[in-house]
Amino acid sequence: LMNSLDYFEQDLDYMIIDTGAGISRNVMYFNAASQRVIVVATSEPTSITDAYAMIKVLRKRYGIKRFDLIVNNVSSKVEGDQVARQLSLVCERFLGDVVLETLGSIPADSQIPECIKEQRAFVDIHPNGEAAKRLKRIVSRVEQTARNSSNGSLQFFLRRMVLNQMKGSNHAGYRVSGSY
């Protein structure tokens, strides 16, 4: 990964790393080193549990207090709001000072499996679908808030990742099953 990052030099505006589900050591290091953590969860209980576990470990072990949330694969906006509210209430009750900002939800789309088979982004194949429209709104919100926040660099990310790895080197990796 470090060698691949050299390719980008200084021309990055954003770097998004999809760490996947779980709270393994690598997942924690990348999230702890990030300037912004976006948690993606579905309405499935295992996904909500995994999302909370990741937030809890990042709060307790790395001091991260602010998280963004996207609820994926929902049947309606109401379902997305319910998942966000449920996760927010659990964080508030058990973690107290955690801020969980909901960026939005993305509806289930029967055309997404087709896009996966073709290995193409659904926003390219079905740009006018509801899922693509909602994702574009979420990206717009992320870009807007990124412009208003401190301007970090790739070197900042790497330095923070290395420091967090050194601080957390005594901790064993953990893994929680499920999907986001």
> Mean of the pLDDT values across residues 86-101?
95
pLDDT of residue 178: 37
Q: pTM for the whole thing?
A: 0.77
What residue type is assigned to position 59 of the chain? R
Q: C-alpha distances in angstroms, 118 versus 24, 96, 115, 135?
A: 30, 44, 5, 20
b/e map 124-152, b = 16+ CB within 10 Å: eebeebebbebbeebeeebeeeeeeeeee
Using DSSP's 3-state secondary structure scheme, residue 70 falls into: strand
Contact 115, 121 (CB under 8 A): yes
Q: C-alpha distances in angstroms, 125 versus 70, 71, 113, 129?
A: 22, 22, 12, 9
| Strands 66-74 vs 38-41: parallel, antiparallel or unpaired | parallel
For the stretch 35-92, pLDDT in tens is 889 999 999 999 999 999 999 999 999 899 999 999 999 999 999 999 999 999 999 9
Give the HSE-up count for residue 97: Cα atoms under 13 Å, Cβ half-sphere.
6
The C-alpha atoms of residue 64 and residue 45 are separated, in whole angstroms, by: 23
Whether the pLDDT of residue 124 is over 70: the answer is: yes
The C-alpha atoms of residue 73 and residue 108 are separated, in whole angstroms, by: 4
pLDDT of residue 69: 97
The helices-and-strands tally (H runs, E runs) of the chain is: 8, 3
> Mean of the pLDDT values across residues 163-173?
50
pLDDT of residue 20: 78
